[in-house]
Amino acid sequence: MEAKNMSRRKKKFTCGHIGYGKVCHKCVQKQSLRDNKRQEKNAWKESFANDMIDLSSLPKNVVIKARQIIRDMQNNTCYTYFRGKRLRHDHFIISIPVTRHYRLICRDNGSFVVPEAVVSHEDYNVCKPGI
């Protein structure tokens, strides 16, 4: 009976945690979380390969919203649905607000609108695109 109790003693793992068993379950759980985060991060980086324009330097919420707007415009949704407006100095350039601080710049090619870039509102105001 005493031999059974001795095998159930807590032990100190090499990582410093104390517990039962052959491996430290806290460290295994931490490693599992790290692996999941790494996979999500890699999947996020790989998703930029499918974009029509470079969105890799933008915040995540801006990327998601810009992708949604581009996808909807490819499905023949009019740019005015997104509060897009033509620029006064060049009516072939359309500015669509993505968020409060970012704009999607598109070019009107007659029968369809082609996205060209997503720029910050600050950059958009300083230098009007297309000039």
Are the CB atoms for 106 and 79 separated by under 8 Å?
Answer: yes
10 secondary structure, DSSP code:
-
- All domains in the chain, ordered by first residue: 2-45 (no CATH), 53-126 (3.30.2310.20)
* Helix, strand, coil % over all residues of the chain, rounded to 5: 45, 20, 35
Q: What is the pLDDT of residues 57-113, one digit of tens each?
A: 888 898 899 989 888 888 878 888 888 888 887 788 888 898 888 998 988 887 788
Do 90 and 55 touch, CB atoms closer than 8 A? no
The helix or strand, by DSSP H or E, that contains position 6, with its residue range, turns out to be helix 2-7
pTM greater than 0.85 (yes/no): no
The string of pLDDT tens digits covering residues 26-57 is: 888 888 899 899 998 888 888 888 888 888 88
